[in-house]
């Protein structure tokens, strides 16, 4: 059962009166968001971040009284049962965002609600100071436009500051042979949260195991891209109006595409979902994702016919063939490139309510004449990334 604390304070004069209420001191209000962590609601599959936790030997009441005695007042915590579970962090169980499997369906709904609040802040409340005093480091070992800039924009729009390195693989001490673990231990000394993109699958887990501050995986090679998947599901809900009972066609480089892997994990949280895999033979979806979907009771189908799949889908999720993943096998890249292109003909086959999505950047896999169709959702999708990342930064740094 969800429990939250409403704090009422009165001067201590031998008895407590709720008629003379004051606000508890700021020290307590800061620790209030951490108390729910201490009380067992926040558990993580990654090492807990002690920086934001109170002394675990203190009970909630002891900490309340100790902080209040400084002001000559006594704070009383009243337990309420009628608040949403996510309001006290009960279901947001993460210290880091590393992979899509970390989230459950309730987590997603709660995060999306915070993202809607962030959209209102971005549009109506310029100069927000929610994250004033916090510093985010962006550590990118691979190129990025949307992910890096949207994270930096998100932090600044909430009043925080940013330290950035755009090409850490070439212009950081990694070029001198420094290990990822040593880099993380150093950078966490300068910042409150690290957003990292790396060329090696599993690098984000290594960073999270090393750091005492939150780590957000902004893409780790062909592994995962969880924040992209979050914004993708958020976009689908906004565009289609539902997440249960949808049909999604994943198209393009499914073997190397970290976005489609993470998206498949999240779609498996919902009921009656069907996923179509449409790709050249050399970049088919890997068996681990197929096995996972099967284990969750999610129907999936491989197809070589994009036009046929387009007639069935609520979402056609196109991706580019990633040349950088082929190494010296340029022949395989050329074999895969250009086989599946979303153009006006594909749009004509799609249902009127359906949308085309793409994690971007695109090359030639969506023709530019598709852009003017209202079903082209990919630039709205990119904008939604700002709101999701604002929400994640807020949740990881200051809680609900």
Q: What is the structure's pLDDT at 169?
A: 55
Residue at 139 is within a domain: yes
259 or 51: which leads in pLDDT: 259
Give pLDDT, residue 15: 37
pLDDT score of 324 = 61
Around 84, how many Cα atoms within 13 Å sit in the side-chain half-sphere? 13
Last residue of a domain, one of 224, 254, 282: 224
* Vertex 122: Cα angle to 117 and 123 (nearest 5): 100
Q: Same domain, yes or no, for 259 and 346?
A: yes
Predicted pLDDT of residue 303? 94
Q: What is the pLDDT of residue 78?
A: 38
CATH of residue 138's domain is 3.40.50.1370
User: Catalytic: 197?
Assistant: yes
Half-sphere exposure of 57 (CA within 13 A, CB side): 0
Tokens linked to 248 = 């999604």
Annotation marks residue 296 as catalytic: no
Domain assignment present for 98 = no
Closest CA to 261 of 101, 93, 45: 101
**Residue among 57, 123, 176, 352 flagged as catalytic:** 176
Mean pLDDT confidence for 286-296 = 95
pLDDT of residue 282: 81
Closest CA to 285 of 266, 307, 263, 269: 263
- Same-domain pairing of 169 and 300: no
Residue 196 located in a structural domain: yes
Contacts of 258 (CB under 8 A, 6+ apart): 219, 220, 221, 222, 223, 224, 225, 228
Considering the domain architecture, whether residues 235 and 284 belong to the same structural domain is answered as: yes
Write the DSSP symbol of residue 274. E
Query: What residues contact residue 135 under an 8 Å CB cut-off, 6+ apart?
Result: 160, 161, 162, 163, 190, 191, 192, 193
Tell me: do 235 and 320 sit in the same domain. yes
Where would I find the beta strands (DSSP E) of the chain? Answer: 4-11, 73-80, 135-140, 161-165, 193-198, 215-220, 247-251, 274-278, 299-303, 315-318, 355-357
- Token couple for 203: 């690098």
Q: Are 232 and 376 in a shared domain?
A: yes
Three-class SS of residue 301?
strand
Cβ contacts of 178 within 8 Å, gap of 6 or more:
172
Residue of 147, 227, 235, 319 marked catalytic? 147
147 is catalytic: yes
Predicted confidence (pLDDT) at residue 174 exceeds the cutoff of 80: no
- Asked whether residue 198 falls in the same domain as residue 305, the answer is no
Catalytically annotated residue among 32, 37, 225, 358? 225
* Of 60, 146, 185, 380, catalytic: 146
* Residue 151: per-residue pLDDT: 95
Is 355 in a helix, a strand, or coil?
strand
Specify the pLDDT at position 339. Answer: 82
Q: Domain check: are 273 and 302 in the same one?
A: yes
96: which strand partners? Answer: none
Q: Is 176 a catalytic residue?
A: yes
| 375 and 269 together in one domain | yes
Q: With the CA atoms of 389, 393, 395 and 397 taken in that order, what torsion angle do they form, in degrees rounded to the nearest 10? A: 180
Same domain for 243 and 182?
Answer: no
Q: Exposed/middle/buried for 315, CB within 10 Å: 0-12, 13-18, 19+?
A: buried
Exposure pattern of 1-11 as b/e (b: 16+ CB <10 Å)?
ebbbbebbbbe
Q: The domain containing residue 142 runs over which residues? A: 121-224
Q: Closest by alpha carbon to 174, among 199, 195, 202, 151?
A: 199
Tell me what the mean pLDDT of segment 31-44 comes to.
Answer: 36
The span from the CA of 245 to the CA of 353, in Å, is: 14
* pLDDT band per the 50, 70, 90 thresholds, residue 38: very low
Domain total of the chain: 2
pLDDT of 24 above 80: no
Of 238 and 363, the one with more pLDDT: 238
Q: Are residues 377 and 348 in the same domain?
A: yes
Mean pLDDT (the chain, rounded): 79
Q: Are residues 345 and 245 in the same domain?
A: yes
Tell me: the pLDDT tens digits for 84-120?
Answer: 445 544 445 689 999 999 999 989 999 999 999 999 9
Each residue's pLDDT tens digit, 308-356 = 999 999 999 999 886 665 666 777 666 667 688 999 999 999 999 999 9
Catalytic-role residue among 90, 91, 197, 258 = 197
Q: Looking at the structure, tell me whether residues 290 and 367 fall in a common domain.
A: yes
The answer as to whether 101 is a domain residue is no
38 inside domain: no
DSSP 323: G
Please confirm, yes or no, whether 51 is among the known catalytic residues.
no
């Amino acid at each position: 059962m969800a429990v939250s604390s409403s704090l009422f304070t009165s001067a201590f004069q031998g008895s407590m009166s709720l008629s003379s209420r004051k606000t508890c001191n700021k020290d307590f209000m800061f620790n209030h968001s951490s108390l729910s962590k201490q009380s067992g609601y926040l558990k993580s599959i990654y090492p807990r971040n002690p920086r934001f936790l109170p002394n675990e030997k203190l009970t909630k009441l002891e900490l309340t009284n100790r902080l209040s005695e400084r002001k000559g007042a006594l704070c009383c915590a009243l337990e309420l049962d009628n608040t949403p579970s996510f309001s006290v962090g009960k279901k947001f169980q993460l210290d880091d965002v590393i992979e899509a499997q970390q989230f459950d369906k309730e987590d997603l709904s709660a995060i999306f609600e915070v993202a809607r609040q962030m959209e209102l802040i971005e549009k109506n409340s310029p100069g927000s100071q929610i994250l004033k005093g916090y510093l985010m480091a962006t550590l990118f070992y691979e190129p990025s436009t949307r992910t890096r800039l949207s994270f930096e924009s998100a932090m600044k729009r909430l009043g925080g500051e940013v330290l950035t390195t755009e090409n850490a693989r070439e212009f950081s001490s990694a070029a001198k042979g420094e290990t990822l673990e040593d880099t993380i231990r150093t950078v966490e000394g300068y910042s409150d949260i690290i957003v990292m993109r790396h060329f090696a699958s599993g690098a984000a887990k290594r960073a999270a195991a090393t750091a005492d501050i939150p780590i957000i995986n902004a893409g780790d090679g062909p592994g995962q891209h969880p924040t992209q998947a979050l914004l993708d599901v958020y976009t689908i809900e906004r565009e289609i109006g539902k997440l249960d009972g949808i049909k999604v066609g994943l198209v393009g480089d499914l073997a190397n595409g970290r976005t489609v892997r993470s998206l498949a994990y999240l779609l498996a949280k919902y009921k009656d979902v069907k996923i179509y895999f449409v790709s050249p033979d050399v970049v088919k979806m890997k068996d681990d994702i197929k096995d996972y979907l099967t284990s969750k009771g999610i129907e999936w189908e491989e197809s070589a016919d994009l036009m046929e799949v387009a007639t069935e889908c609520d979402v056609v999720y196109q991706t580019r063939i990633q040349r950088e993943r082929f190494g010296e096998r340029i022949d395989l890249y050329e074999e895969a490139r250009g086989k599946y292109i979303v153009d006006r003909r594909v749009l004509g086959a799609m249902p009127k309510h359906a949308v085309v999505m793409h994690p971007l950047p695109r090359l030639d896999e969506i023709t530019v004449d598709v852009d003017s169709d209202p079903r082209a959702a990919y630039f709205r999708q990119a904008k939604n990334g700002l709101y999701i990342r604002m929400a994640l930064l807020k949740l990881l740094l200051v809680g609900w």
